[in-house]
A and B are shown apart, each in its own frame.
Chain A
Amino acid sequence: MSIRIAGIDKTYGPKGPGHTRALEPIDLDIANGELVGLLGPSGSGKTTLLRIVAGLEQADGGTIHFGERDVTQVHVRDRRIGFVFQHYALFRHMSVFDNVAFGLNALPRRDRPSSAQIRSRVMQLLEMVRLTDFASRYPAQLSGGQQQRVSLARALALKPDVLLLDEPFGALDAKVRQELRRWLRHLHGELGFTSLFVTHDQEEALELSDRVVVMSNGRVEQIATPDTLYRRPGNRFVFEFLGEVNRLEGDVSHGVLTCGAARLAVPGLDDGRHELLLRPHEIRLSERPSAGAHLPVSVSAVVPVGAEVRLELEADWLGEPWQASVGHAEFDRLDVSRGRRLYAVVSQLHRFDAAKPQTLTLEPAV
């Protein structure tokens, strides 16, 4: 079922001028079957928004519709939502089975399925989360990942109109988080529920979401698909929040940027002082300067991380060292080690100091 959020805002504490709002008026439309991530640093208002959609908190103004149904004034218990909490919030004194069956057992008598029906539904859900063998265990006897799967089964037991997840994988270790993420993506593909989830982990948001809502300070910074978000960030905040950023500042004259000993051809840029940003993977290294780029650097740190090698690059003309990432093949070819002097080649640059963000694609290195 689609979710339509219109003009939702929230202020904590006494209202008045100069008081920071938890949420500026927010508009957001989520299509039926869509999986949308709310991404932002802590204090950005993403959890508040999610809890308002759930009905666990009240907005000061605005409306929320599930499909055609106006749920703004509807109590949580009647909103037909499923909610997954960061710390699972399982009923600790109930078995896994009873946890999942809780919502069904809490139905008023006339709507409640027979106990045989409840049993088969719960077992079916436990099969879905692959925990059939754990039905009679207690939450404390399960691992974090298993507990979160129980919590998901419990939230889905009543076939909710929308599924809301608050940092669902935040308390789990990296490997389990990765697994659960993929599994949730599959489950979503199978069942097609409409879902809104909160995360502060950009990788999680990009991997899991159909669309990502980037928030900061109670405002929406950008709503876009993961691909668009990464390639064409709407503003500097989004660009910086979504990954590591290197800075290049210098004076441009006749299409060439100069910064100390460094020169870089930047066709199309106006004359004057510019600040340009680039991602680690947009830097490549070479033993010689190219026609358009003369960016001498020296390697100051080498950190092999799995499939790639992260390098820290220093130079007199750089305020802060650059972070670059290269593949192992290139790493070996260039015979990189600490102190090695190389030339950086830049494939893309981003600029946010103009009215509209701009991405410059430079000639590929020869």
Chain B
Amino acid sequence: MVRIGDAPGVRRTLIGIALALTALFLLLPLVAIFAQALASGLDVYWQNLSDDYTLAAIGLTLLVTLLTVPVNLVFGVFLAWLVTRFSFPGRRLLQTLIDIPFAVSPVVAGLVYLLLYGRNGWLGGWLDAYDIQIMFAWPGIVLATIFVTCPFVARELIPLMQSQGAREEEAAVTLGASGWTIFRRVTLPKIRHALLYGVILTNARAVGEFGAVSVVAGAIRGQTNTLPLQVEQLYQDYNTVGAFTSASLLAMLALLTLAAKAVLEWRAARREIAT
């Protein structure tokens, strides 16, 4: 007896369609990015890359990522710990609120920040009096990026920590361990893989965020342009090769992220087999 979909013809057709679609929608654009970036040769590619504004954009993107990821790492762990280990009124509401950055369009998030911290905003006037500028400067970009990426770590951890329960932590506390020791030696090793995964996703999004950042950055060339903004601006300037050069950097980062994720998953699978 042949099961449904088991006939060789059906199987080949289905696999063929899946592969064709993947190539058309996922692989081809990726190849196109690198093809365009290298269209005028390696020299031009290199020239575009060492352009002052591009270098500034790379630097700003790295700064934003370096600040965002640790903040959201700590915040995400704290939030997941709170939601899974304690029961308090408003716990469910909090779990829903975590998803706001996913639900809301990044542009709206950027506008809200503008409303709060802009010169005519609620907090902006007060900040302005102390000569602190948040909008159209790197602090605004960092804040917007933190907002957009804050659910990643918590979302990875919460289901895992819920399924693992708190028995091991309870055992540790009966053995006299302090809160910090329990976190470091019991909880952290248990959630390590999910945490790394969350960090990778946060990192990928922090590097690539466009919408929220474009609202709060003000696109000052060489000052508040992150890589994605730089790509857009070069493209608007009809500098296609330049735009694709910057885009190729982002694409490479994306590939690296995927590779890191694959390695993590492979290692997790190997651990499963070992035990």
Determine whether the beta carbon of B176 is less than 8 Å from that of A91: no
Instruction: Give the nearest-CB partner of B181 in chain A.
Output: A106
Interface-side segment among B75-83, B142-150, B166-174, B195-203 = B166-174
B119 at the interface (CB under 8 A from A): no
Determine whether the beta carbon of A102 is less than 8 Å from that of B175: yes
Determine whether the beta carbon of B275 is less than 8 Å from that of A106: no
Q: Would you list which residues of chain B between 139 and 193 have a CB under 8 Å from chain A? A: 167-168, 170-178, 181, 185-186, 189-190
Write the nearest CB–CB distance from B272 to chain A, whole angstroms: 10
Chain A 174-206 per-residue mask, 1 if CB under 8 angstroms from chain B, else 0: 000000000000000000000000000000000
A77 to B170, CA, bound (A): 10
Determine whether the beta carbon of B172 is less than 8 Å from that of A102: yes
Determine whether the beta carbon of B177 is less than 8 Å from that of A77: yes
Write the nearest CB–CB distance from B163 to chain A, whole angstroms: 13
A208 at the interface (CB under 8 A from B): no
Instruction: Give the nearest-CB partner of B186 in chain A.
Output: A91
A82 at the interface (CB under 8 A from B): yes
Chain B residues lying within 8 Å of A76, measured Cβ to Cβ, are 173-174
Chain B residues lying within 8 Å of A87, measured Cβ to Cβ, are 167
Chain A residues lying within 8 Å of B174, measured Cβ to Cβ, are 54, 56, 76-77, 81-83, 155
Determine whether the beta carbon of B176 is less than 8 Å from that of A158: yes
Instruction: Give the nearest-CB partner of A86 in chain B.
Output: B167
A103 to B182, CA, bound (A): 11
A154 at the interface (CB under 8 A from B): yes
A351 to B22, CA, bound (A): 79
Give the size of the chain A interface in residues (CB under 8 angstroms): 28
Determine whether the beta carbon of A56 is less than 8 Å from that of B177: no
Chain A residues lying within 8 Å of B275, measured Cβ to Cβ, are 138, 140-141
A78 at the interface (CB under 8 A from B): yes
A89 to B166, CA, bound (A): 9
Write the nearest CB–CB distance from A302 to chain B, whole angstroms: 45
A155 to B170, CA, bound (A): 12
Given A93-B189, A93-B190, A141-B275: A106 and B170 interface contact (C-beta under 8 Å)? no
Write the nearest CB–CB distance from A109 to chain B, whole angstroms: 12
A85 at the interface (CB under 8 A from B): yes
Determine whether the beta carbon of A106 is less than 8 Å from that of B175: yes
Chain B residues lying within 8 Å of A83, measured Cβ to Cβ, are 170-171, 174
Q: Would you list which residues of chain A between 124 and 140 have a CB under 8 Å from chain B? A: 138, 140
Given A91-B186, A102-B185, A138-B275: A158 and B168 interface contact (C-beta under 8 Å)? no
Chain A residues lying within 8 Å of B185, measured Cβ to Cβ, are 91, 102, 106
A261 at the interface (CB under 8 A from B): no
A147 to B73, CA, bound (A): 34
A362 to B189, CA, bound (A): 66
**Further pairs besides A89-B170, A93-B190: 7, Cβ < 8 Å:** A56-B170, A56-B173, A76-B173, A83-B174, A93-B189, A103-B177, A106-B181
